[in-house]
Amino acid sequence: MKPLEPFPQCIDCLMGLAHSAYSLVSGEVPANQTNGETLADDETLADGETMVREILAKARKDGLNSPETANQILREIRRVTGVSDPYARTKAIEMTQAKATFSQVKDQMGKDFRSLVTLAVLGNTLDFFKPPEEALAEIPVEIKEGPAFFRDDIPLLESFLSKTPELVLYLADNAGEIYFDIPLYQHIRQKARRTVLVVKGGPSLNDLTRVDLQLAQLEDEFQEVIDTGTDGAGIEWRRVSREFVDLVDAADLILSKGMANLESVYPKELLSPVFFLSKIKCRPMQNYLDAPAGSFWAMWRDSY
C-alpha cells in the first residue's frame, strides 16, 4: 500500500512535538527531572524552531514519513540540549498511572481471546499528545460502553495462533500501554513456540525501551525481549539492527501495536503476515485508512 504522505498534513503535529520536547528541557520542568543533564539555554531554544523547519523541509524533499521526520527532530534536540531522554519523567508518570488503571479495569474484562485483544488495544488509548491521566480516563468508559472495532480481523488471528506458529514478534508501542499488552502477550506465548517482545533501542517519545521495562520490573513477564537496534518512533527500516531484520524475516507473524508502527510497517513488503492493533487518533490516519475518528482497528494483512 502507498505510504501516508505526511506533508503538509502532519506539520502542525511535528511542530507541536518539537515544542513539547524543548519545553521539557528548557526549565519548564524541575532540573531534578532531567537526571542532572544539561538544560537548553535561551539561545538554543531561540534557534530551535528554525532548526525544526529546516528538518521538515529536508524530510519533505527526501520523502520521509511522519515517524522518521519526528525521529530526526528529536535526535537533533537531544544533540543540541545534551538531554538524552526528554521524556523519561513523562514515561515514568505514564507507567505509574497506566498500572493503576490496568489494575482497576482488568477484572472487568473476560478471559476469552477477544477480551484479551480488546484490553490490549484499549491500552493504545494512551497518546503522546494527551496527558496520560486524560487518555487513561477514557478506558473505563470504553469498557462500560463496549468498544467496537471498525476493522475486526480477530478471528483470523485466533485461527492462526491455533496452528502453533514457530515465532511471533510483538512490537510494543507506548510505555504505559505495556500493562495492557501483558495478558495478550502471555496468551500468544502459550500458543507459539517463541514469542519475542520488541521495544525501541533508545529514547523514542513516550515509546517503551528496555530501561522502562527494567525500571517497572516487568522483564520477567516476557519470554524474550529484543530492541529494534535504534531509537525512534515506529520502525525506521534504514536504521534498525541486523538482529531485528533477521527476526522479522524469520517470523511467522508480526503483531504491531499503535499508529507509528502501523504507519511504518503497513507499507512495507514483508514475508510474514502482520496483525495491527491500534486506535486511530489523527485526521491524516483517518484519511489514509478511511477510518472514523477514534476507531479501533484489529487488522490482518497477509504476507507479500
> For residues 238, 243, 233 and 252, what is the CA-based torsion angle, rounded to 10 degrees?
100
Q: Is the pLDDT of residue 82 over 90?
A: no
Q: Which pLDDT score is estimated for 193? A: 98
**Burial of 163 from C-beta contacts in 10 A (0-12 / 13-18 / 19+):** exposed
The whole-number average pLDDT for the span 32-42 is 46
Contact 102, 112 (CB under 8 A): no
Q: Which of 275, 276, 273, 279 is nearest to 291 (CA)?
A: 279
User: Is a pLDDT exceeding 80 seen at residue 272?
Assistant: yes
CATH architecture of the domain with residue range 92-301 = 3-Layer(aba) Sandwich (3.40)
Residue 89 burial (10 A CB sphere; 0-12, 13-18, 19+)? middle
3-state secondary structure of 196: strand
Check whether 42 has a pLDDT greater than 90: no
Using the structure block, give the residue that is written with the C-alpha cell 514483508: 270
Residue 283 CA: distances (Å) to CA of 114, 275, 295: 27, 22, 12
Distance CA 156, CA 153 (A): 5
pLDDT in tens, 157-195: 999 999 999 999 999 999 999 999 999 999 999 999 999
Higher pLDDT, 250 or 81: 250
Q: Do residues 44 and 52 make contact, with C-beta atoms less than 8 angstroms apart?
A: no
User: What's the mean pLDDT in 250-259?
Assistant: 97
* Residue 29 banded pLDDT, cuts 50, 70, 90: very low
The pLDDT of residue 31 is above 50: no
Please state the domain extents for the chain: 11-86, 92-301
Q: Supply the pLDDT for residue 24.
A: 79
pLDDT at 51: 86
- Per-residue pLDDT, 153: 98
pLDDT at residue 129 in the model: 82
C-beta of residue 191 within 8 angstroms of C-beta of residue 164: yes
Q: How confident is the model over 69-75, as a mean pLDDT?
A: 93
Residue 119 main-chain phi, psi, to 5 deg: -60, -40
Please state which of the ranges 1-15, 114-128, 180-194, 271-285 shows the lowest mean pLDDT.
1-15
Q: Give residue for cell 533477521.
A: 246
Closest CA to 206 of 123, 103, 85, 119: 85
The proportion of the chain whose per-residue pLDDT surpasses 70, expressed as a percent, equals 92
Q: How confident is the model at residue 81 (pLDDT cuts 50, 70, 90)?
A: confident
Asked if omega into 8 is within 30° of 0 (cis), the reply is yes
Please say if the pLDDT value at position 135 is more than 80.
yes
Q: What is the mean pLDDT of residues 132-139?
A: 94
Q: What is the pLDDT of residue 146?
A: 84
**Cell numbers describing residue 70:** 519526528
Model confidence over 86-127: pLDDT tens digits?
899 889 999 999 999 999 999 999 999 999 999 999 999 998
Mean per-residue pLDDT of the chain? 90
Nearest to 204 by CA among 269, 258, 253, 266: 258
- List helix spans (H) across the chain: 11-24, 42-62, 66-81, 88-105, 113-123, 132-145, 154-161, 178-191, 210-215, 242-250, 259-265, 283-289
For the ranges 155-169, 263-277, 282-296, the lowest mean pLDDT is seen at 282-296
DSSP secondary structure code for residue 162 in this structure: T
- Widest pairwise Cα distance in the chain: 59
Q: In this structure, are residues 187 and 116 in contact, taking their beta carbons and an 8 Å threshold?
A: yes
Q: Is the per-residue pLDDT at 215 higher than 70?
A: yes
